[in-house]
Structure 1
Amino acid sequence: MDARPTSILHRTPWTPPIAIATDGIYIDLEDGRRVIDGIGGAAVTCIGGNHPKVVKALKDHIDVMSYVHNTQLSSHPAEELAKLLVDTSDGAFEQVAFLSGGSEAMETVIKLSRQYYIEIGQPKRTNYIARQLSFHGNTLSTLSLAYHPGRRAPYEAILNHQNFHYVSPAYAKRFQKPDETEEQYVERLRQELEDKFIELGPETVIGFVAETVVGATTGVVSAPKGYFNAMKSVCDKYGALFMLDEVMSGMGRMGTMHAWQSLGDGAAPDLQAIAKGLGGGYAPIGAVLISPKVAKGIRGGSGQLKNGHTYQANPLACAASLAVQKVIIEEDLLAQCRKNGAHMMALLKDRLQSPNALAAPYTFDVRGAGAFFGACCFKNGLIAMGMVGGSSLDGSKGDHLMLGPAYNATTEEIEKIVDIFVKSIEEVLTENLL
């Protein structure tokens, strides 16, 4: 990495290389290299860079409107995008609140869920239950909601320890007991959640919050079959909200519009946060999808969102996002995403876990679906996402790597990503362990 001086306080201890152009899954760097973006930034660029339809939509809209404030005026792109999100939800959602990204979306989930109970006359509800080894954003409240030891550490002393509580992660590969069936494991987690409700006082609990598929913290971990239905049943029993964070896993990343749809158990949430794949990297945007139940409660009270941000429902961001979502629909990219996912799964399992694979003794798991996989390596021309920890509750063990290529990557590009990835792993093993 570069050691040149920079005026930016970067998120890395080194100065990252400068990108000068994007083209599909490729990124051109200032030093002349062309690299493959195998993770889409952070599972963001779902249709790759510089898609002509989205570029045209942005150019067309900037010619007529740049900005209006959402408390004063709305815009056609915002209204049309909200309608598309509602109309494609199979009745799960009735309204949408737009934000500028994932952390803002999860912050709004926290605020809106509290507002809902004030509006319906249950102000004693002040407690949230989330999971260990979770990540929900980088604001103080979303860090408090989540349980990501590494990200929380510098701010632990100023986080909210009164209103945020935790139960175990749904990570069967690590935490299911040897003598437990999948059904018994799910029941144990369901009982743990109900016990937490009872401990806190059910009348004080706003709801349960979880990532449908855990991203950065544990590396693309899906819950066991029936888990979300079980957790939702506890929320329903005590009149609390069931809330999902699909900032990373939603908007097609799992091969379905919403990640919970890929699980097949129909556990639609009361509130859901989305972001990354919503705008596909063409503009900063996030949103909260609101169920008919919550929408009715708000309408019966103040009838408004009591949470505002300057760039909420920004017309340019909504125009870009609308174009991205139309591309996904028009080019049937969810089907392409599922096809790519199955192909990548087969390749990775064969190259990393087959008996003759060099990496087999060092590969704990290969998991994922759609365009969301665990994997990494820059010097060989592949951008992936590496994370430390995720298999122990203190976050100190279980390093993992993630891949999340664009939904419209070709079969050849998927194979190239796997080739570079496996080559990189084998190089590291040969140089350091073998």
Structure 2
Amino acid sequence: MSSVSYCHSLFYATSAAEDLARLLVDSTNDEMARAFFVSSGSEAVEAAVKLARQYHIEKQPSEPHRTNFIARQQSYHGTTLGALAVGGHVARRALYEPLLGEKNSRVSPCYGYRRDSDESEEGYVRRLEAELDAEFQRVGPSNVAAFIAEPVVGAALGCVLPVKGYFKAVRRVCDKYGALLILDEIMCGSGRIGPSPTERFPKPLHAWQDPLIGIVPDIMTVAKGLGGGYMPIAAMLANHKVIDALDHGSGSFAHGQTYQGHPVACRAALEVQKIIQEQDLVSNVRKQGGLLGKLLKERLSKHPAVGDIRGKGLFWGIEFVKDKSTKQPFEPGEAVAMGIHELGMQEPWNISLYPGTGSVDGRCGDHILVAPAYTVTAQEIKYLVDTTARVIEKFFSQHEHCGVVTNGGKTTSKGH
């Protein structure tokens, strides 16, 4: 801050922004070409949408009619109008529907827990690929600018991992029709899922580098784990294809904000990322994440109200159901997720369990997220799981109106 607290990036460059950009580009094995820094995840998605539009105008041949974006139902990509418009979070869109752009549509999410019980993973992927292809056809393949999705869905679905092969199928459809693929890693990125190393990415940081995702995006966004909360910062990264189009066109990105590339925010994020690298914290995420998932399943998988426990690394979700056999969700009025969160915040538990609703159809569906710090220890993981389990058990033992159905078909209000 004593070196340079602020200067407008339209006129000045700073070593903090340039060093952070180089670190992030290097972390992608140079698959990405440039980074653009803003102050929040919503702003990063706004920038990604704008860049996708500009790419189709400036590439050769130009396609200015590509103005449509396809996302997924029960998705969330930000709270600003552009980001809210491309997303599919029913509750957060509701108040602002009249203000949202109409050139956005959605297809089904990749939600393995709720696929048909007699449907194989391969068949499920084929069905979702066909649905996306049909949506391109409905909109008009030459009208679609991009498809946007979270590699691992965060707040909207509760840490839902994709089925193997899903994103390769998505990539095929986008490439088939010349649309860009935007991956939103605002929640799941920057090491949060502890992506598994491969020969190509021996020290992966981004969710798309995990073999389960297995593809490279055209544009990506990161935020929460980028600066760790020390300063407001987010980033959009674009690959060489997108940047080359601008280089051979106008030579610049037609978008800007006062505090883009803020030097103090960039310097804070740079330090966070250096610590993640130097202390190999992504390896700790993988190690402790494995323990977290194992203990959550051991402690809670038999609970009559716990339908699914899913996640990877230090990013886990617990979905609650009224009937495990049918996967019937609770009604919104029962406020299960929020009730568990509010109970957890009280003495003696003092724990924040991130609540989410509407995961099933935009209205029904309750889940919580469990996402401890990258520096968490095994002892802390055990305490976390025990506390989480006790909160859940206490909630359902206190709320008879929830009427949880046990495996025997009888209704119970007990927590066990």
Provide the TM-score with structure 2 as the length reference: 0.86
Superposed CA deviations along residues 44-90 of structure 1, whole A, max 9, x for unmatched, are: xxxxxxxxxxxxxxxxxx12210011101010010000000011102
- Equivalent residue number for residue 88 of structure 2: 147
Residues 151 and 213 of structure 2 are in contact (CA less than 8 Å); yes or no, is this contact kept in structure 1?
Answer: no
- Equivalent residue number for residue 228 of structure 2: 280
Q: Does 1:222 align with 2:161?
A: yes
Aligned pair in 2 of structure 1 residues 246, 419: CA closer, same or farther (>3 Å)?
Answer: same
Q: Does 1:246 align with 2:213?
A: no
Superposed CA deviations along residues 325-381 of structure 1, whole A, max 9, x for unmatched, are: 000000010000001110001110011014xxxxx1110011111111125511111
Aligned pair in 2 of structure 1 residues 264, 425: CA closer, same or farther (>3 Å)?
Answer: closer
- Equivalent residue number for residue 138 of structure 2: 199
Q: Does 1:166 align with 2:106?
A: yes
Distance 1:224 1:92 in 2: 24
Report deviation, 1:179.
2.7
Aligned pair in 2 of structure 1 residues 265, 390: CA closer, same or farther (>3 Å)?
Answer: closer
RMSD over aligned Cα, in angstroms?
1.1
Report deviation, 1:259.
0.9
Q: Does 1:208 align with 2:177?
A: no
Aligned pair in 2 of structure 1 residues 99, 209: CA closer, same or farther (>3 Å)?
Answer: same
Superposed CA deviations along residues 2-43 of structure 1, whole A, max 9, x for unmatched, are: xxxxxxxxxxxxxxxxxxxxxxxxxxxxxxxxxxxxxxxxxx
Q: Does 1:297 align with 2:266?
A: no
Out of 123, 134, 143, the position equivalent to 1:184 is 123
SS at 1:207 equivalent: strand
5+ residue gaps, structure 1, are 1-61, 355-359
Report deviation, 1:178.
2.7
Report deviation, 1:172.
1.6
SS at 1:365 equivalent: strand
Distance 2:219 2:145 in 1: 12
- Equivalent residue number for residue 413 of structure 1: 380
Superposed CA deviations along residues 271-314 of structure 1, whole A, max 9, x for unmatched, are: 00111000110110111111111111111111111110111000
Alignment of 1:5-404 (within 5 A): 62-120=1-59, 121-161=62-102, 163-174=103-114, 176-256=115-195, 257-354=205-302, 360-374=303-317, 376=341, 377-379=344-346, 380-392=349-361, 395-404=362-371
Distance 1:158 1:141 in 2: 10
SS at 1:248 equivalent: coil
SS at 2:229 equivalent: coil
5+ residue gaps, structure 2, are 196-204, 319-340, 400-412
Bigger relative contact order (CA 8 A; separation at least 6): 1
Residues 74 and 88 of structure 2 are in contact (CA less than 8 Å); yes or no, is this contact kept in structure 1?
Answer: yes
Report the residue type matching 2:396 in the other structure: L
Distance 1:431 1:132 in 2: 33
Report the residue type matching 1:132 in the other structure: Q
Report the residue type matching 2:252 in the other structure: Q
Residues 191 and 206 of structure 2 are in contact (CA less than 8 Å); yes or no, is this contact kept in structure 1?
Answer: yes
Moved over 4 A (4+): none
Q: Size of the alignment, in residue pairs?
A: 364
Superposed CA deviations along residues 136-176 of structure 1, whole A, max 9, x for unmatched, are: 00011111100101001111122112x101111110211x2
Report deviation, 1:406.
0.7
Distance 1:97 1:265 in 2: 24
Distance 1:240 1:189 in 2: 17
Identity of aligned residues (%): 45
Provide the TM-score with structure 1 as the length reference: 0.82
Report deviation, 1:230.
0.3
